[in-house]
Amino acid sequence: MFLRPRRFGKSTFLNMLCEYYDIAAAAKFDDIFGGLYISKNPTEFRSRHLVLKLDLSSIETGDINLLRASFNRYMNTILAAFLDKYRSNLDEFKPADILCLEDGSSSLRQTLVSEACLNHG
């Protein structure tokens, strides 16, 4: 969690971290970071992780039922995209067995503890 004033570069910094560590962005690493210190001195974790970026600001609030429905919809949409993005990096899995449309928290928990993700690294 980053606590900084508005327009202070929080999103830019988070996007940079995602691109640096994301295994799916490895092919464009030099295009993004070429010529920079970080490109010439990479860490061992560069382009080695599956990155799940959550932006909970789009979740609708109001009454508790609206909040739950919006959260469940958001989490399942993001997790389905995550599983699709990293399909080639994961062991065999069935997203239908991982995602629970009625419970976004359960979907997140199942995704994070799935053998496919655990075997990745």
Q: Over the stretch 78-95, which tens digit does the pLDDT of each residue have?
A: 999 999 999 888 777 777
Q: Which residue has the tokens 């092919």?
A: 27
Percent of the chain whose predicted confidence (pLDDT) is above 70: 90
95 touches 83 (CB < 8 A): yes
Nearest Cα to Cα of residue 100 among 64, 63, 75, 66: 75
Give the predicted TM-score (pTM) of the model: 0.81
Quote the CA–CA distance of 66 and 71 in Å, as a whole number.
8
92 touches 82 (CB < 8 A): no
Which sequence spans correspond to the domains of the chain? 7-49, 51-121
Quote the CA–CA distance of 24 and 50 in Å, as a whole number.
8
DSSP string, 19-35: HHHBGGGGGGHHHHHTT
Nearest Cα to Cα of residue 108 among 66, 46, 54, 29: 54
Q: Which residue has the tokens 């503890």?
A: 113
Beta bridge partner(s), residue 49: 22
Nearest Cα to Cα of residue 70 among 80, 60, 81, 57: 60
Q: Is the pLDDT of residue 115 over 80?
A: no
Q: Which is more confidently placed, 15 or 97?
A: 15
74 touches 49 (CB < 8 A): no
Q: Which of 3-17, 39-53, 76-90 has the highest mean pLDDT?
A: 39-53
